[in-house]
């Protein structure tokens, strides 16, 4: 039935409306500080509807994280599949993450600030998902080492942590307004992260 199809469309839209509202609310108030009714108010729906679509407030955060994280994992896999120099791959990954932030800073803020903490409280559910990303990056490094592109005396796991840590810290700097965010700063950041990690600070 058309009616049913239309309803299903509306239902999906409402769910999305709630998720998008949650991003804004989590970003501005923090996950713990906000109430479910704040999300509902922001979305313009009754708060009961949040529970119609999600089992709990936690699950709203989970959903946001998993949605975005899966997109990122896919992007990293896609980059790794391309026939590129390792350095170009790292550039593409850094670019993807920086662009994700540029495109939706609130969402990235929520994922970085709230999910790490939640990972601690809610058990290990997300940790494995997060590790997948590190492992994918580590695989890029490992292949580069085998190919002689990267030095072999730094473990791929470790290199992945340094690379990802540098990116995340830059985003954190933007989130807390510690680093400047002018027009060219995003592209500059992409370049500098890779330059630092690959070539080092030494002269």
Partner DNA sequence: TATGAATGAGTTTTCATTCAT
Partner DNA sequence: AATGAATGAAAACTCATTCAT
Q: Which of 23, 21, 2, 3 is nearest to 13 (CA)?
A: 21
Q: Indicate the SS3 state at residue 46.
A: coil
Give min distance, CB of 185 to a copy of itself, in A.
10
- Would you count residue 123 as binding DNA (CB under 7 A)? no
Among 24, 51, 102, 186, binds DNA (CB under 7 A): 51
Residue with tokens 């630092």: 196
Q: Which positions from 172 through 201 interact with a copy of itself, judged by CB under 8 A?
A: 172-173, 175-176, 178-179, 189, 192-193, 195-201
- Would you count residue 24 as binding DNA (CB under 7 A)? no
- Distance, CA of 15 to CA of 19 (rounded, Å): 6
CB nearer a copy of itself, residue 21 or residue 94: 94
Decide: 114 and 122 in contact? Cβ < 8 Å: no
Mark the segment that binds DNA (CB under 7 A) among 44-52, 78-86, 92-100, 160-168: 44-52
The site that binds a copy of itself (CB under 8 A) totals a number of residues, namely 59
- Distance, CA of 98 to CA of 15 (rounded, Å): 27
Total length of the chain: 203
Q: Which positions from 83 through 112 interact with a copy of itself, judged by CB under 8 A?
A: 87, 109, 112
- Would you count residue 72 as binding a copy of itself (CB under 8 A)? no
- Would you count residue 198 as binding DNA (CB under 7 A)? no
Among 92, 118, 136, 137, binds a copy of itself (CB under 8 A): 118
**Cα 117 versus chain centre, distance:** 14
169: tokens are 């810290």
Judged by beta carbon distances under 5 to 8 A according to partner kind, the member of a copy of itself, DNA, none in contact with residue 158 is: a copy of itself
Mark the segment that binds DNA (CB under 7 A) among 35-43, 149-157, 171-179, 190-198: 35-43
37: tokens are 């009714």
Residue with tokens 């713990």: 32
137, burial (CB in 10 Å: exposed 0-12, middle 13-18, buried 19+): buried
Contact footprint for DNA (CB under 7 A): 3, 6-8, 10-11, 14, 33-37, 45-49, 51-53, 55-58
């Amino acid at each position: 039935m058309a009616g049913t199809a239309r309803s299903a469309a509306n239902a999906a839209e409402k769910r999305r409306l709630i998720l998008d509202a949650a991003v804004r609310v989590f970003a501005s108030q923090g996950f713990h500080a906000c109430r479910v009714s704040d999300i509902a108010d922001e979305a313009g729906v009754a708060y009961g509807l949040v529970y119609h679509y999600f089992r709990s407030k936690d699950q709203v955060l989970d959903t946001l994280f998993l949605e975005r994280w899966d997109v990122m994992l896919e992007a990293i896999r896609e980059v790794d599949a391309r026939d590129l120099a390792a350095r170009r791959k790292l550039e593409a990954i850094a670019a993807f993450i920086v662009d994700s932030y540029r495109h939706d800073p609130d969402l990235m803020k929520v994922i970085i600030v709230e999910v790490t903490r939640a990972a601690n409280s809610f058990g290990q559910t997300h940790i494995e998902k997060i590790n997948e990303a590190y492992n994918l990056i580590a695989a890029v490094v490992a292949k580069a080492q085998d190919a002689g592109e990267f030095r072999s005396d730094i473990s791929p796991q470790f290199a992945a942590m340094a690379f990802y840590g540098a990116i995340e810290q830059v985003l954190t700097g933007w989130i807390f307004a510690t680093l400047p965010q002018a027009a060219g700063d995003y592209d500059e950041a992409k370049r500098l992260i890779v330059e630092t990690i690959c070539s080092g600070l030494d002269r």
